[in-house]
Amino acid sequence: MQQFDWSAYYQAAFEREKKKNNVLAGKIADADSRIEELQFKTGRIVGNPFYRTMTMVEKAAKLPVRVLRHQSHKKAMQPASKELTESYEQELYAQTHPYYQWLRIHEKTAAKSREEEKTVWNKITDKCRVITFSELQQFTSLREIEGEYLLFLEDNSVLASFAGKRITQYLDSHREISLLYGDEDCFTGEKPDHKNRFSPWFKPDWSPDTLYSFFYLGSMVAIRKSAFESFVFTDGSLAEHTGNQNNDGFSRLYDFILQAAGTLETKQTIHLPYVLSHRRLDTEDSQVADQWMLGAEMEYLPLRKTAWEKRGISVTEVETMYPEIVSLYPRTNDMNDKISIVILSKDNPKVLRKCITSLREKTALHSALEIIVVDNGSREENRDLVEQMASELGFIYDYHPMEFNFSALCNYGASKAVGNLLLFLNDDVEAVEQDWLDIMAGWAKLPHVGAVGAKLWYPGGEQIQHAGITNQGVGPSHKLVTFQDDQAYYHGHNMVPYDMICVTGACLLVKKEVFDRIGGFDETMKVSYNDVDLCFRLWELGLQNVQCNDAVLVHHESLSRGLDEDTPEKWERLLTEKENLYKKHPLLFKKDPYYSQSLNQNLPDYRCDCPFLYENQLYTLPVDLFHDQVEKYKSTFVMPTVERAFLQHKIHKSEPDIYMIEGWSYMLGMDNARFDTSLILTHESGETLCVKALKKYRFDVEAILPAQKNISLAGFVVRILKENLKAGNYRIGILHTDRQSGALYYQEVTKTMGVN
């Protein structure tokens, strides 16, 4: 009788409890950080000069009529007209509900007639047959279903009013396309409209590896039937291969799509960037909606395993933070595999020791490792320490003095490697789980995969430092950086393997043959974006880069060289290298096939991005000269604050120089929906300019001044081309215009703006 391995059992139980404790510790740390953040914000508010006089202001605000009767401002005391109030409320709603703003812009021409809207839901045409997931149980073959195009729809979802027509037209005009899917959102109630729709899911382009994690195609997918007529659904085979005895319609669809994925090329698939379906929910909780991962649940695990086995690949399960969701990674079981780890390190012996010790102790594949440390010029005492460490821990130490050039040093280390897989690892990365390299190597060995990355945490908790890189409007950016890793973000972007355009060079695994084929890292990119450039070139070669969120390490970021933006010189270098990056890859400028243009383009989270005017409107023509004497419009009822007046940081080197002025201002005791805001800029020469400001929602102002009417949009932003401003100092004043009476109210602030 075989003896049960109790030691393995207790070890596994210990690891599970440890993970739970880590999650709880992370939540406590996150709560502490939020307390600190609130305390910091409170300090800023209390320290504001205006706040110190707020008591006096609020008392005055409670008796506005009595005060104003003596100052001929009776008209300004009247409420705003219905038209102005509605306009104000609509703008406020849009700025507090970004998806509503997105809908206003992107679907303003999509509305159909009432009669047509009554017939569009689940519409069946001669060409396009709509079938709900549950209805798939009725069929054993695609041949049984009538229609040239088949549109599969989740049972709780409805089609957008324009979806059937748009899908049919696209498939008619693009005969090479065999599979089509779109974006979606959620709604509550009987029927979706702009006010009850929320949590848009803007999806990536074709992502075959993400598809093995869960059914990321979502609520709606359309196919050209002729491309898949050979596929047969048989109850027996599905029950046998998927283990799903219920044999529900979705199981049939997911099984079919996974089979089809093995035969599809990227050019045969299309992601239409339109919200083509709406999923009905009983709750308006966006977190619930954003965590939806259909097909990732335990009941579909056998189905996903079977799909891998049909490709001749065995897989291993990995637990996620949610017991009901299990990740899978492929195993090649090739005993001849050898992984060469290239680590750059200079004058960092303590950090290096922690890194290599963790590799030896926390790596299941440690016997297959070749570790190469490249030192570009440590001091003599540190060199002696590393040489002694190499003998003790068993790694190759190559002392190679030269100016720091990440790309050149990595290429040099790779030239010394004998492994068939290359792992580029920062010396400040620490292994914390046994299976991290096993997971990464399984993906890297697949023929269609280029670079493979791991999820990295900051030290001291489970705070995300890296969960993939997206190519946003501001440039390549780490996603979910600083987010606590205790929940699923945007359909599991921190939980399961995802196809992404880039992974970080701090921990990047690639086949040596592929690395050599593309010529390694570009040595003209000495410090920044070399990993991004490598991933771009792998993608352009037709390979998929995979972010393994189930392989976790700790990254003590920036111990080696500091942050990129902490000095003007480093920022200028960063801009130059970014410009060089896009000169090499012009088709990827502000474009990422795995990241929607409708998601934010400058922040680390995943949220709908619909820029407001104040974010991107620029005065490209000379600003208006203000010939009137503003002194006669001075009013103590103008309450202005200018927080910043400065030359903006450039995001791309090709951008013009732009001055930005930001702050908030309101009319004391009046209905602020009546007023427009302008900035009066008075040059030291006496020339006066007038620039209309754009309104911005300010929740902080709203919170500290609850007695003021319609003050939520008191914020303002002005952006002006430097070429339209004279060199010298400008005094700044705020001018409020009453849109009902035409009256002007002015007040100058103490802050000035210097133009070089």
The backbone torsions φ and ψ at residue 115, rounded to the nearest 5 degrees and listed phi first, read -65, -40
pLDDT computed for residue 336 by the predictor: 78
The answer to whether 688 touches 630, Cβ cutoff 8 Å, is yes
Cα separation values, 40 from 33, 46, 603, 702, 710, Å: 10, 10, 21, 18, 26
> What's the pLDDT tens digit per position in 549-603?
999 999 997 544 445 556 778 888 888 889 999 999 999 999 999 999 999 998 8
- For 260-269, what is each residue's pLDDT tens digit? 888 888 899 9
- pLDDT tens per residue across span 176-195: 999 999 999 999 998 998 88
| First-to-final CA distance of the chain | 85
Facing residues of 734 across strands? 679, 747
For the segment 91-111, the average pLDDT, to the nearest whole number, is 81
Across 376-468, where does the E strand assignment appear? 396-399, 421-426, 429-431, 449-457, 464-466
Helix H or strand E segment including 414:
helix 406-415
pLDDT tens profile 334-360: 767 899 999 999 999 999 999 999 999
DSSP letter assigned to residue 141: B
Amino acid identity, position 242: T
For 271-312, the pLDDT digits (tens) are: 999 999 999 999 988 989 999 999 999 999 999 999 999 889
- 5-14, 70-79, 82-91: least confidently modelled range: 5-14
- Max mean pLDDT among 56-70, 94-108, 436-450 falls in 436-450
The partner residues of 398 in beta bridges, in order of sequence, read: 374
In angstroms, the CA 415 to CA 567 distance is 34
What pLDDT score does 399 carry? 97
Measuring CA to CA, which residue among 167, 140, 174 is closest to residue 153? 167
Phi, psi (degrees; rounded to nearest 5) at 529: 65, 10
pLDDT higher than 50, residue 109: no
| Mean pLDDT over each residue of the chain, to the nearest integer | 85
Identify the pLDDT of residue 12.
Answer: 53
pLDDT at 246: 46
Nearest to 212 by CA among 140, 273, 293, 267: 293
